[in-house]
């Protein structure tokens, strides 16, 4: 069975973007050769990316012409992608298809052969999939900053979700990469 893994950078106080969409300059506080290497390794593990519409629009606007990290750009532009949206009818970014029911689609995809499916950004979509019990792991890079406000990565929930720490890695930038998996209720 394929894994569905959330990967995101966020601030110590829990925001994955500032008050405005794509207000993510804090990423540069975490970025460096170690995080670039980590991102490259993710590319070897996964064979599909899933985005919500807003994250898709930002990624599709950036990666086709990105030149700073050629290996990551090649990965982002070449990999199979899904955008979950009730309003979009088509997606123009290479190897992307639109689905309106992300829960059903991801349930089916997890049962098919293949490698890891990653959700990049897309906190609202990750929340929907988590509440459906589809998230196998969270990989979070905590940037060394308190933003003070913005769009929280984790949304309010009716119940807590216990997690098991799989790995914690400190980067030279002061960022920390954390890997957690949800713990099934006893």
Model confidence at 69, in pLDDT bands (50, 70, 90)? confident
Which CATH number fits the domain that encloses residue 109? 3.40.430.10
Residue 142 forms part of a structural domain: yes
Q: Is residue 44 exposed (0-12), middle (13-18) or buried (19+ Cβ within 10 Å)?
A: exposed
Total domains in the fold of the chain: 1
Residue 184 forms part of a structural domain: no
The edge-to-edge listing of strands for the beta sheet with 176-182 is 96-99, 80-84, 46-52, 116-120, 4-11, 137-143, 176-182, 163-170
The residues facing 119 across adjacent strands are 6, 50
pLDDT above 70: residue 185: no
pLDDT above 90: residue 179: yes
Residue 178 forms part of a structural domain: no
Residue 57 forms part of a structural domain: yes
- pTM of this structure: 0.93
Segment 82-89 mean pLDDT: 94
Residue 97 forms part of a structural domain: yes
CA–CA distance, 50 with 67 (Å, rounded to integer) = 22
**Between the CA of residue 162 and those of 121, 133, 137, 170, 185, what are the distances in Å?**
21, 13, 12, 23, 8
- Give per-residue pLDDT as tens, 29-67: 999 999 999 998 988 999 999 999 999 999 999 999 998
- Give per-residue pLDDT as tens, 92-108: 999 999 999 999 999 99
Residue 179 forms part of a structural domain: no
**C-beta of residue 27 within 8 angstroms of C-beta of residue 142:** no
Cα 107 from chain centre: 17
pLDDT at 146: 98
Q: Which two tokens stand for residue 20?
A: 């405005």
pLDDT at 48: 97
pLDDT averaged over the chain? 94
Residue 163: give the domain boundaries.
Answer: 4-173
Q: What is the DSSP string of 149-171?
A: SSEESSPP-SS---EEEEEEEE-
Q: Which two tokens stand for residue 29?
A: 């506080």
């Amino acid at each position: 069975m394929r894994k569905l893994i959330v990967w995101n950078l966020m601030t110590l106080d829990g925001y994955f973007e500032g008050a405005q969409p794509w207000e993510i300059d804090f990423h540069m506080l975490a970025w460096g050769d170690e995080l670039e290497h980590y991102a490259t390794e993710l590319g070897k593990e996964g064979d599909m990316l899933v985005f919500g519409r807003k994250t898709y629009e930002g990624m599709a606007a950036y990666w086709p012409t990105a030149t700073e990290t050629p290996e990551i750009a090649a990965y982002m532009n070449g990999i199979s992608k899904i955008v979950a949206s009730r309003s979009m009818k088509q997606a123009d970014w290479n190897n992307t298809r639109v689905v309106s029911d992300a829960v059903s689609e991801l349930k089916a995809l997890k049962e098919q052969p293949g490698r890891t499916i990653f959700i990049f950004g897309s906190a609202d979509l990750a929340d929907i999939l988590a509440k459906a019990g589809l998230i196998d792991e969270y990989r979070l890079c905590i940037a060394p900053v308190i933003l003070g406000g913005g769009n929280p990565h984790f949304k309010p929930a009716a119940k807590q979700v216990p997690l098991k720490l799989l790995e914690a890695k400190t980067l030279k930038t002061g960022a920390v990469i954390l890997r957690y998996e949800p713990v099934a209720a006893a």
